[in-house]
Amino acid sequence: MSQETVECGHAKCVCRIMAQVDENAFCSDYCRDSEESDEEEETCACGHPPCDVP
């Protein structure tokens, strides 16, 4: 399986990470938990700077 730079699977997060192409990937446990719990939030609070910003 190949890896590519993909967006974090949490819709509110702007991080991009290396992950398997065919599955959801998350940059942190915070994002994984937030996506599964379906919390209403306007922005992501994982604490990471946007990964696609130098």
19-52: pLDDT as tens digits: 887 778 999 999 999 988 866 778 899 999 876 6
pLDDT of res. 42: 82
Question: E strand or H helix at 34, and its extent?
Answer: helix 29-37
**Mean pLDDT, rounded, for 6-30:** 89
Between 52 and 15, name the one with better pLDDT: 15
pLDDT tier, 13 (very low <50, low <70, confident <90, very high otherwise): very high
Distance CA 2, CA 44 (A): 27
Distance CA 19, CA 22 (A): 9
Distance CA 45, CA 54 (A): 19
Distance CA 54, CA 3 (A): 21
Between 47 and 2, name the one with better pLDDT: 47
